[in-house]
Amino acid sequence: MKPAKRSSIPSTQRYLNISEIRDNTIIVDDGTLRSIVMVSSINFALKNEDEQNAIIGAYVSFLNNLGFPLELVIHSRELNIENYLNNLREKEKAQTNELLKAQTAEYIDYVAELVSLGKIMNKRFYVVISYNPMSDDKKGFIARVGEIFSPSSLLKMKQDKFDRLKKELDRRVDSVVGGLASIGLNVVELDTQALIEMMYNVYNPKVSSNQPLKDVNTLRVTQ
């Protein structure tokens, strides 16, 4: 019996420049490390003039004190309330009062139509913080050049080396979190599960809405 042939269809992973995601950190193919924090929004228009000036001043101060680049990302997707509607449908089935049952059904139809016609968008705000070992002035020239020509050595990074690089990244994350918190924003660093879910949702918008990602600890990935 001949062994089954492997699929010739290339994996999506070969088109992504992400080598690995671990310990709340993304390791990119070029050896850079990245963390992502999710940031709340502020209804700036509802603030009075003094509050607006204070927010602007705090934000300018935050940017001026940065010694490294940031990437700001706004992720917009059509609002998905299917789980909410399914929960209402279960309550409708369990409802014994016919009047309340009919009103629940009408409410479900109303909300579903409202979201469908209005194309209500859900926006999330992220800040991507990166650390490139090549930009570290503390390293010698030879060491930094060596990392350029051997990025593959960073792909399967030893834990002690990863820990050293991550310490530098964590310092940047702490600086960003503290600076944004001083403006009055809520900031949360994405953990490993959240990072993988984010990438899954971004690159598979249609599939992810019907097939939510499982816990990464239960997944088996083959290359």
pLDDT in tens, 50-71: 999 999 999 999 999 888 989 9
In this prediction, residues 150-159 reach a mean pLDDT of 55
In this prediction, residues 114-134 reach a mean pLDDT of 83
The candidate with the shortest Cα–Cα distance to 127, out of 74, 178, 203, 91, is 74
Residue 105 pLDDT > 60: yes
92, 97, 102, 105 alpha-carbon torsion, rounded to 10°? -10
Higher-confidence residue of 221 and 209: namely 209
The candidate with the shortest Cα–Cα distance to 29, out of 153, 204, 175, 212, is 153
Task: Determine the Cα–Cα distance for residues 12 and 221; give it in Å rounded to an integer.
Answer: 12
pTM across the whole model: 0.68
Locate tokens 């050049």: which residue?
145
Token pair recorded at residue 88: 């209402």
pLDDT of residue 76: 82
Residue 44 pLDDT > 80: yes
pLDDT of residue 212: 63
DSSP-derived letter for residue 136 is: -
Banded model confidence at residue 121, pLDDT cuts 50, 70, 90: confident
In this prediction, residues 19-31 reach a mean pLDDT of 86
pLDDT of residue 19: 82
Q: Mean pLDDT over all residues of the chain?
A: 79
DSSP-derived letter for residue 218 is: G
DSSP-derived letter for residue 31 is: S
Task: Determine the Cα–Cα distance for residues 177 and 181; give it in Å rounded to an integer.
Answer: 6
Inter-CA distances, 192 with 55, 62, 163, 223, Å: 31, 27, 15, 19
Task: Determine the Cα–Cα distance for residues 28 and 97; give it in Å rounded to an integer.
Answer: 57
* Cβ neighbours of 27 (radius 10 Å): 22
pLDDT in tens, 160-204: 788 888 999 999 999 999 999 988 899 999 999 989 888 888 777
Single-letter amino acid, residue 73: V
Locate tokens 């990935």: which residue?
221
CA 18 to chain centre: 14
pLDDT of residue 217: 57
- Whether the CB-CB separation of 120 and 79 falls below 8 Å is answered with yes
pLDDT of residue 2: 52
Domain ranges across the chain: 12-74+124-192, 80-119
Task: Determine the Cα–Cα distance for residues 105 and 109; give it in Å rounded to an integer.
Answer: 6
Token pair recorded at residue 194: 């959240």
% of the chain at pLDDT higher than 70: 74
Bridge partner list, 168 = none
In this prediction, residues 200-212 reach a mean pLDDT of 70
Residue 149 pLDDT > 70: no
In this prediction, residues 37-62 reach a mean pLDDT of 92
The candidate with the shortest Cα–Cα distance to 180, out of 53, 62, 86, 19, is 62
pLDDT of residue 32: 87
- Whether the CB-CB separation of 197 and 126 falls below 8 Å is answered with no
